[in-house]
Amino acid sequence: MEVKLVKSYRHNYNHEFGGDDPEWYYDDFCAEVKVIKENPEWNPWERLFRCSLHIRYNGHSFANGHHWSLSGWSDRMDEAMVKIFGDSFVTFSSRKSLIDGIKKLVPFFPPVHYKNGKELKYEFA
């Protein structure tokens, strides 16, 4: 299974509140998984966890060092995260360990598509 992160937004606290630390920000990301589609040349990636998971990179150096975090944003996601990680908020020291954590969540929320009124699960590429 191939997972990639796509940056969606930067929340720049340094710019909004002033200060002299240029690393005072959060980057929000979306996770996408590579799937087999009828027309893969168009876009072989499908977004995961659309509104149920926050994926963030904390650029603030004195908070807890630079780190990645996952936090649940729905009851169903919170339940899955507690089963896997023991908590609904988890931090990771590297991007690789974050992606490994996301891969553990995918079986609970497989990507689906609809064809002729039927819900079908994507196959991973």
Is the CB of residue 111 less than 8 Å from the CB of residue 11? no
Global confidence as pTM: 0.83
Report the 3 state secondary structure along the chain. CCEEEEEEEEEEHHHHHCCCCCCCEEEEEEEEEEEECCCCCCCCEEEECCCCEEEEEECCCCCCCCEEEEEECCHHHHHHHHHHHCCCEEEECCHHHHHHHHHHHHHHCCCEEEECCEEEECEEC
Range of the domain at 113: 3-124
Give me the number of domains the chain comprises. 1
The yes-or-no verdict on residue 61 having pLDDT over 80 is no
Residue carrying structure tokens 């649940």: 72
pLDDT digits (tens, 9 = 90+) for 93-116: 899 999 999 999 999 998 888 888
pLDDT digits (tens, 9 = 90+) for 79-92: 999 999 999 999 99
Is the CB of residue 27 less than 8 Å from the CB of residue 59? yes
The yes-or-no verdict on residue 46 having pLDDT over 80 is yes
